[in-house]
Amino acid sequence: MLLLLPFVAQLLIDSGITVASGGGTTNVFDFTGLPRAMCILTASNNTTTLIGVFAYIVWTGSTLILANIVSTSALAAFSATPILQLKNTSIVGLSDVYWTLQFMRVQ
């Protein structure tokens, strides 16, 4: 059975967010209630030094499987099952961060 989505992408559009230093996280999406999903997360800061991530995400219905395909030194996709998060691993806080989550399949 194919689920028709009322959305193709979730976007952070109002303003950039701050992700605290030293392991700070911010929630991107809660997969609770979805049986399966595949999506791509892109995120970056809006400053002169690019810090970003491009990750492939698979939700099995109980587990988030993450592949950080491109991840600059500080920003990465992170699993707090069932919640997908962005995590800052640097000692400096990241400000003005924007993200997009594109769903390829939801079943």
CATH number, domain 13-106: 2.60.40
**Residue 3 pLDDT greater than 90, yes or no:** no
> Looking at the predicted structure, is the pLDDT value of residue 2 above 60?
no
Dig out the tokens for 21 from the structure. 């230093």
Q: Tell me how far apart the alpha carbons of residues 29 and 37 are, in angstroms, rounded to a whole number.
A: 12
Cβ contact 86:10 at 8 Å: no
Among 10, 90, 5, 104, which residue's Cα sits nearest to residue 47? 90
List, for residues 52-104, the tens digit of each pLDDT value: 889 999 999 999 999 988 877 688 899 999 999 999 988 888 888 888 888 88
